[in-house]
Amino acid sequence: MSLLSMLEGAGGAAPCSAAGCPAEAEHALHWRNPRIHAADRVKTWAACAEHRESLAAWLADRGFPVAVTPFGETVERVA
Ligand SMILES: [Zn+2]
């Protein structure tokens, strides 16, 4: 069992990935840095409703592909 599935088994709640934000995540941002990550590598951030836009914008500003899903969903890859 992976750490992630253990966490999900414990209720699925996670704090937002934004620095200092204690809110519970409602969304997941799946992304990668094409310069250092292979195409099948996906990093995932948790985001509350308030920080979903700013975290996605931070990634988009750097040219990183990002896909946003409800928290708890996974994606195979981000284009
Ligand atoms: Zn937040």
From the list 39, 21, 17, 26, the residue with the least C-alpha distance to 72 is 26
Cα(31) to ligand 1 centroid in Å equals 17
Band (pLDDT 50/70/90 cuts) for residue 4 is low
Above 80 in pLDDT, residue 6? no
Give the dihedral sign, CA 30/32/37/38: positive
Residues in contact with 57: Cβ distance below 8 Å, sequence separation at least 6, in sequence order: none
Share of the chain above pLDDT 70, in %: 85
Chain segment 41-68, per-residue pLDDT in tens: 999 999 999 999 999 999 999 999 999 9
pTM: 0.81
| Run of H or E residues at 46 | strand 43-47
- Say how far residue 9 (Cα) sits from the centre of its chain: 18
Cα(67) to ligand 1 centroid in Å equals 17
